Structure 1
């Protein structure tokens, strides 16, 4: 299931306090999706990395109660005591079986030891698939049956919509638009240490912001996404130097374009990124008028990217002209 559909389904189940489990390859944004759901709902979010825990971390530490002459469990301070939120059990199937047993009680009974999960909190868990080269333990059938299971897939259009909203470097968005297959290159059968994932492209964005010397860029970016892709990306970055003036296009003072496909991918992504930094009606009209002069697939790419970022344009006179020219491509 792609991220946009999964977000809707998980949000609905969280509201009903139905435990859900997200499966997927490493680095594709499972934890980010759950955190965004909590933020959008305005509720709390606690991220527990179960693979790093001991059984007593969840159950608590036993102590002697002098008054009752019994042993009680002191629950951990990191578990919620009140309010509403999502308790996210990350890497659940990477946790040792004894830790999974403690989690089992929490998921099954919404309590563990002396601790009880408040009614306003939902449980969401996540983990890598057994064939993803990670350390995993087979989940017991009774535990698996306590969840509604989803498998997250990488979808380029979803990722691009997220990347624009997150303000990711437009050069990365342009490159992935041009080379869709380079968004995610993880292969469980390949033992390489560096491969491209949505997460590693965020690392590339941080590398570009670090303002490294050009002589160091290739090796550094290779460490994030692999050498072959790093070479391709750095070569594509040189394309950006051949772009028309995007600021002038938004101002309506330039209709310069190009016939080179790689330049048009970079130009289309650059226009959308620049517009989203300062959206206004004048820029929108100019962008739509400019897109009428582009090859059809790039005109559609610009408009769809803007619409995915909640830019409305049905009221625009330029959009009506755009629809007359390109509506056949939207059917």
Structure 2
């Protein structure tokens, strides 16, 4: 199965394992909670989906690459304990707590949550001395004489032997005690993640044309050559940063991430073309509605690959705009929740004091995410933005000392809502202008169908259309697909949005 389906399977399993009966006991006892074993090629996102699952289910995650551990760090260090048996005293070997189990207890103390996932990566590449301990842990959920806390689920990941020479085969006894999920690389599934993650537009545009270059592992004359999803994502990070710093990523830079020379060369050449198309077609002018007629004629006469690349440029910019609107929507929701708590406590505590407490709560959440090494960068950004917004509100109250502090807070919040509305209006204008440009350059074409389809599959653009609507989008779907698809498309978009809690359709009042 692909990584998207695997993620949902794991979510369902975790929910089932953590479900409780009317007496508060787990419906599936720990002894029947098989560890989840995720097997698949390296670099396709096995670790990342565990982080996403923990965030979505609001449980803890402790992740270890087990190949970094020795028998001592996994099992603990031995020490002598004296015990009495049958009236006689004996020296008995005990063990200090495993470093891994200690990390679980520390995570519980830090977050206050009692449930979580212990994720062990590269579990089938462990050393010979550690193998018996790991098999015991998978089978019995214990390291030595110490057990994994109740409410914690074991998930492990490994690579098939064709990708790793040090792989150890599990025996039937072990495999009969795990829930095995085999996952394969799949560009379509990864693209959904990539659009939400903000992967560089050049990468998505290139892979739309060269889907067979998404994932490859081959033996070459100079050793293994490979291109993985992890490589594309890390390359995206460096491309974004290089652009911000005014640097150029050439073939040498690309080859440091895509370790297959032919694909690295091909993408580096495409990256130059992508930069050229950005200069020639001036996407900002298209979205602002101020393009020159020459640009539309040039696109109409361009080869298919060039048209797809320009569509990629436009879609990438639309995705950025819709993402900004989504972030302001989420920010408004977070600030609204804080202000409702301020309102509820008024009369007993001054507004400034309540705001200070709200800020302290946000700071604790940010610190906890940092300490846990959370990879949820977007969540961190939202928390930081919310804290900065509330700090601004608090500073205004302290500076102005208004007679009615909450009325002033309502005015400040109205300004935040205006920013959200302005971002939504800008995205709507961009969408309308993009369709107008494509109508002029590529009327009734398959490229327009592709463009509308990509808007549907993109998380942020689909969220925007479902929340605010887009007349041009639905008009083109009716014209190009020759059917009244609006309801069906809205259903697809609503399903895509179901995983997040947007507030843009709500009237946020205080």
Normalized against structure 1, the TM-score is what?
0.88
The counterpart of 1:231, out of the listed 260, 265, 269, is: 265
What SS is found at the alignment partner of 2:150? Answer: coil
2:313 is the alignment partner of 1:270:
yes
Mind listing any 5+ residue stretches in structure 2 that lack a counterpart? 18-32, 85-90, 109-113, 323-426, 489-510
Q: Which residue of 2 aligns with 1:327?
A: 481
What SS is found at the alignment partner of 2:226? Answer: coil
Specify whether residues 119 and 299 from structure 1 end up closer, same or farther in structure 2 by C-alpha distance, changes over 3 A only. Answer: farther
2:45 is the alignment partner of 1:41:
no
Confirm or deny: 8 A CA contact 1:50 1:95 kept in the other structure.
yes
The counterpart of 2:429, out of the listed 276, 282, 292, is: 282
Distance 1:290 1:169 in 2: 23
2:328 is the alignment partner of 1:174:
no
Confirm or deny: 8 A CA contact 1:91 1:128 kept in the other structure.
yes
Specify whether residues 99 and 31 from structure 1 end up closer, same or farther in structure 2 by C-alpha distance, changes over 3 A only. Answer: same
Give the alignment of 1:196-215 within 5 angstroms.
196-208=227-239, 209-210=241-242
Distance 1:105 1:328 in 2: 60
Q: What is the RMSD of the two structures over their aligned residues, measured on CA atoms?
A: 2.7
In the TM superposition, what whole-angstrom CA distance separates every residue of 1:148-196 from its partner, at most 9, and x where no partner exists? 2222211112222222222222111111111111111212687634421
Distance 1:190 1:47 in 2: 36
Distance 1:296 1:192 in 2: 45
Larger-Rg structure: 2
Confirm or deny: 8 A CA contact 1:48 1:90 kept in the other structure.
yes
Q: Which residue of 2 aligns with 1:242?
A: 277
Specify whether residues 265 and 51 from structure 1 end up closer, same or farther in structure 2 by C-alpha distance, changes over 3 A only. Answer: same
The counterpart of 1:157, out of the listed 188, 207, 218, is: 188
2:116 is the alignment partner of 1:73:
no
What SS is found at the alignment partner of 2:477? Answer: helix
Specify whether residues 193 and 207 from structure 1 end up closer, same or farther in structure 2 by C-alpha distance, changes over 3 A only. Answer: farther
The counterpart of 2:455, out of the listed 290, 302, 306, is: 306
2:274 is the alignment partner of 1:220:
no
Specify whether residues 75 and 174 from structure 1 end up closer, same or farther in structure 2 by C-alpha distance, changes over 3 A only. Answer: same
Distance 1:318 1:277 in 2: 19
Confirm or deny: 8 A CA contact 1:43 1:84 kept in the other structure.
yes
Q: Which has the higher contact order (CA 8 A, sep 6+)?
A: 1
Specify whether residues 248 and 126 from structure 1 end up closer, same or farther in structure 2 by C-alpha distance, changes over 3 A only. Answer: same
In terms of fraction of residues, the more helix-rich structure is 2
The Cα of 1:100 is off from its aligned counterpart by 2.8
Specify whether residues 316 and 205 from structure 1 end up closer, same or farther in structure 2 by C-alpha distance, changes over 3 A only. Answer: closer
Confirm or deny: 8 A CA contact 2:66 2:120 kept in the other structure.
yes
Confirm or deny: 8 A CA contact 2:219 2:225 kept in the other structure.
no
The Cα of 1:223 is off from its aligned counterpart by 3.4
Aligned residue pairs, count: 330
After TM superposition, where is structure 1 displaced by more than 6 Å over at least 4 residues in a row?
none
2:42 is the alignment partner of 1:11:
no
What SS is found at the alignment partner of 2:166? Answer: coil
What SS is found at the alignment partner of 2:451? Answer: helix
What SS is found at the alignment partner of 2:169? Answer: coil
